[in-house]
């Protein structure tokens, strides 16, 4: 039974991290920062801005996950109740429908669901970012804007982390963060190897439907996995 618990915990963490990585807010903001920065700064300066943006995203992910884990431990002990897990599964299914139906705005663009004032503010901040601390703050802001979609991922991940040994907790904590920021790393590598921001954006536009279906499918897969290996096993 202990082996099954570890397997289910690791499965939830990895699935949640991949679902997190499939969301597009951080990637879209980084592309905008790249585009604006390359027009104003030398490539070396742009690299520093991009690196600090990724550090900002990583920092918020780690702090949010650590805070969520502490919250669960403080109020629920080492495990959420079955009713809490059922509620989280319901939220995951609801978010799946939200992603499939209106995560992207209609039309030929990759503009996301964000309210217009927030979207305009993030766009303005990306265009005005000139220092490393501003890039770091933009990473924090872009990550925070995804909160309605990622908070449930943090909750199920934190609940799973608490079921592992300390060594596995630390390892999976950093593995979750690494998986969550992989699209940003891949973007950095793609541009380093000659792809332009325009080319990357065209790819995103061409594959928008696929990415939307994939992201929603990951959320519902996580819901099914939680139901099969966590709720029904209680």
SS (H, E, C) 112-130: ECCCHHHHHHHHHHHHHCC
Contacts of 17 (CB under 8 A, 6+ apart): 153, 157, 175, 176, 177, 179, 180
Residue 7 has pLDDT above 90, yes or no: no
pLDDT band at 115 (very low <50, low <70, confident <90, very high): confident
Query: Is-contact 230 8, C-beta < 8 A?
Result: yes
More reliable by pLDDT, 3 or 151: 151
Tokens of 95: 């978010």
The SS3 assignment for 104 reads strand
Q: Where are the domains of the chain?
A: 2-231
Q: What is the pLDDT of residue 1?
A: 42
More reliable by pLDDT, 219 or 146: 219
Across 112-116, 126-130, 210-214, least confident range? 112-116
**90 torsion bin: left (phi>0), alpha (psi -120 to 50), beta (else):** alpha
pLDDT > 90 fraction of the chain, expressed in percent and rounded: 49
Residue 233 has pLDDT above 70, yes or no: no
More reliable by pLDDT, 112 or 153: 153
Residue owning tokens 């027009």: 39
Q: What is the rounded CA–CA span in Å between residue 150 and residue 38?
A: 30
**Model confidence pLDDT, tens digit, residues 95-104:** 999 999 888 8
Residue 42 has pLDDT above 60, yes or no: no
Query: Is-contact 31 194, C-beta < 8 A?
Result: no
The SS3 assignment for 160 reads helix
Question: What's the mean pLDDT in 67-96?
Answer: 93
Q: What is the rounded CA–CA span in Å between residue 166 and residue 188?
A: 32
Residue 190 has pLDDT above 90, yes or no: no
Question: What's the mean pLDDT in 22-45?
Answer: 77
Question: What's the mean pLDDT in 165-171?
Answer: 94
pLDDT band at 38 (very low <50, low <70, confident <90, very high): low
């Amino acid at each position: 039974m202990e082996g099954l618990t570890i397997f289910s915990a690791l499965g939830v963490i990895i699935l949640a991290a991949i679902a997190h990585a499939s969301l597009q807010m951080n990637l879209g903001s980084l592309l905008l920062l790249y585009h604006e920065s390359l027009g104003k700064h030398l490539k070396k300066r742009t690299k520093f801005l991009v690196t600090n943006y990724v550090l900002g995203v990583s920092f918020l992910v780690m702090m949010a996950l650590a805070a969520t884990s502490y919250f669960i431990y403080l109020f629920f002990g080492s495990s959420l109740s079955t009713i809490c897990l059922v509620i989280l599964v319901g939220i995951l299914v609801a978010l799946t429908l939200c992603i499939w139906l209106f995560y992207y705005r209609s039309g030929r663009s990759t503009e996301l669901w964000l309210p217009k004032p927030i979207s305009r503010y993030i766009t303005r901040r990306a265009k005005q970012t000139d220092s490393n601390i501003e890039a770091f703050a933009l990473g924090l802001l872009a990550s925070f804007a995804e909160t309605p979609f990622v908070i449930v991922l943090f909750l199920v991940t934190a609940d799973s982390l608490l079921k592992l040994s300390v060594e596995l907790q630390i390892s999976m904590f950093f593995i979750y963060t690494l998986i969550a920021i992989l699209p940003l790393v891949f973007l950095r590598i793609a541009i380093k190897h000659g792809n332009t921001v325009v080319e990357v954006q065209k790819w995103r536009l061409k594959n928008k439907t696929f990415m939307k279906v994939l992201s929603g499918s990951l959320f519902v897969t996580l819901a099914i996995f939680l139901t099969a290996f966590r709720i029904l096993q209680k």
